Amino acid sequence: MVNGEPPVAERVLRAASAAAREVSGVAYLRPGLAEVLRGAGGRVGRRPAGVRVRPGRAAGSWEVHIELAAERGHRAVEVTRAVRAAVTGAVAEVLGAAGAAPEGSWAARVAVRVTVTDVS
């Protein structure tokens, strides 16, 4: 933490998770096996399920991977597009506030991959 603020990666992770969960048609974010095993201990403050972030190859860029279950009655492709747009916007906002990317270039520096793993 710097000045009481969590690191940029933590803020990116939380923003991406919140944005994805708010999209209509998302039933839940799906944890991977490592997250399930890690969560068995019931630790407080653990990472949001179904979201992985890492710095991209280019300086100042970020890669976000979301795994989710879509709600029955929603087209997976539409849910995927909406999640990608919401997450890109949320992460760009975090990066702009953190000064981690030059003004106006945030969205271009965020690569979001969405995988629908289930329909519930």
pLDDT (tens digit per residue) in 10-20: 999 999 999 99
Measure the N-to-C terminal CA separation of the chain; round to a whole number of Å: 38
Residue 47: pLDDT band (50, 70, 90) is confident
Residue 104 has pLDDT above 60, yes or no: no
C-alpha of 14 from chain center = 7
pLDDT over 70, % of the chain: 74
Measured in degrees and rounded to the nearest 5, phi and psi for residue 35 equal -70, -35
Helix (H, G, I), strand (E, B) or coil at 113: strand
- Helices (runs of H) and strands (runs of E) counted in the chain: 3, 4
